[in-house]
Structure 1
Amino acid sequence: MPYLGVFLDGRGFSSSEIGELFALITVARIAGPNLWAVLADKTGRALKVLQLGALLTFATFCLVFFVEGFWALTLSLALMMMFWTAILPQIEGLTLNCVLGHTSRYGRIRLWGSIGYILLTIFTGKMIDMFSSEAPIYVGAIVLFSLFAITLLLKEPPREKNTDHQHLSIWHKINTPVFYAFLMSVALLQLSFGAYYGFFALYVLDLGYSGQATGWLIALGVLAEVIIFLQAGKLITLFGVKWILVISILLTALRWYLLAVAANSPALLVLSQMLHAFSFGMTHAASMHFIHHYFGKKFQSQGQAIYISVGFGVGGALGGYGAGYFWQQGQGAELTFTLAAVAAVLSALSLLFVSSKRM
């Protein structure tokens, strides 16, 4: 994903087209997660849903090798995203159920995704230098096929028979001020990520850094994320979900502002990437902790789906479209990242009036 903008730029797409494509494929995250979650919750076969999603994600992603043009690539990537939404909630749900809600155990498992991300971003950045902007799609195809193969080795956890509160729907959990505030915060945070996801790699390359240096910068952010994951459980217990989220999101705003005004400074660029520990690592761990305890096992998959649909779907789509609109082939980079910082501040403010006891 960090190199999708580089790949599209190599295919001759303008910044506005890249932003529009990001927005359109992200829309698939709105409906997709809920459909898959209902299927997983109703059947109790989360692993089968995961395996099917992984297979179809790989198959539809491979269409990018055979199609060209804006709408053809958008359709293939949107289909991929639709099936991708079946994967992450099931992995998160299976993991959280296996560790029985212990956030410290969750963090230690989750960090392996970050380690894989580090290795692949460095490797892919080098491949771009050695070959071309097409390299990321070859790496992506290999990764997605490997993911599907690995899911075949997993085991379905035993399904618990739970007759409590069968008459209740998920609506009584959704329709509360605390959950609305949480969703608003997540959506604004993901909106702020639009410029980073869509244009960070292009931005750094335009500033004169090499593809390999770009890979190391992205990897550095994820390395910081790995370190924070190891301490996430303790920090959430110490400060609580609300204040972890507020502090982490405000640090995210600082990160985007540094990218806006000081990306020419290698030291400050490194610092901004290290803040990824908070802007993704801590916000993700705290959000997972909140959803797991707030929804319980009965509504786990649907709660995850709503979180992804609204936060990553609606927020991500608006962020991608807005970033593409303001980017202007790199001329609007400072404005785009400044607006991202503003969105992050608003995200933090959304949580300030929520009681810490409710989160």
Structure 2
Amino acid sequence: LGGRAVGVSIGEEIRCGGPTLEVIVNLRASPFAVGRQVLLEETLSGIARDHRVAIASANLVGGNDDLIFDGRSCAFSADGTLIARGSAFAEGIVTVDLARPVPQAVAPDDRAPESEVWRALVLGTRDYVHKCGFTSVLLGLSGGIDSSLVAAVAAEALGPENVLGVLLPSPHTSIESIEDARELGENLGIQVQCIPIAPMMEAFDGALAGVFAGLAPDATEENLQARIRAVVLMALANKFGSMLLSTGNKSEAAVGYATLYGDMAGGLGVIADVQKAMVYRIARWLNAQRPVIPGRVLTKPPSAELRPGQTDQEILPPYDILDAILHRHIDCFESPGEIVAAGYPAETVREVLRMVRQAEFKRRQAAPGLRVTDRAFSTDWHMPIAAKSWWQ
């Protein structure tokens, strides 16, 4: 091409050897995972330098089901210098002279994990909703951190006028949670509706009173609340032609801390691949840009509020410990013995991994979730339901 020997490679083929070339045009559809761009650019730079060949690598942009493609097309001179990079999570055209080994059109790129994941979620949500034929979404607003972040993503992705937040308070919902949910709605400029579920809870209790006679209340009644909320949310979604967004995070999905056919209901799990600690980090990062999530949401103990005084830590270990154990097991393939050897309590490790194994049937029935790590349950985790653990 123009007197130069040019080769075309597809995706990972660029790592393979081949004939002597002056330029390689690399066409990629490399899905986003947080932190991956640094490794990609280091790899391409090394290939260019080692083989003395200029590289122009063009990547796909947009969302396709759970996968998100972040663009960031880049070019390297034959000495390995990054001379051009396209914008992240946006389409664009970059013009570069491959013969000039100096930076020419390198778009700035915020590599902070919070920024990367936020932009990925916004792009993934926008494309998924629109490609599925929807223009509006709705979600339940609990006044907690997860639904607050999902609402913020939805408002950014689709415009606040296309987002409906629904408060579904029960007798166990605190006044503070209702206030926080309403404040969030005002800050985001989204529509907000409030539908108390106490009358529906009473109807179910009455209908089941005879069958449940003599049995003490337990998780059954708690799960009923979540499923009542799902019925109401799906009714609204059907009536208004909107997609229901699921608000569960990766930590909850891992251990099954969610109600099947309840809060797991929806057409898209926006933060299904985001651990609880990262949810808080993104929320704080977002508030530093423009305060939208009420401060109390970031400081109060997380709770499903399905019974008086309930907190997540009645069932789960502190989220920093839980997330660390889950990361070692899911992302690093570590066995219980290896995790315990790293300093985590043996009883806690065994219980967490038991919950992970037991929740497999729930995850199989969850809404598709946007993938932002290298080990998402939707794409990268393939475990049988009826089987012993792989480490046994």
Question: Could you tell me the TM-score, scaled by structure 1's length?
Answer: 0.24
Q: Which has the higher helix share?
A: 1
Larger radius of gyration: 2
Question: Could you tell me the TM-score, scaled by structure 2's length?
Answer: 0.22
Higher relative contact order (CA 8 A, sep 6+): 1
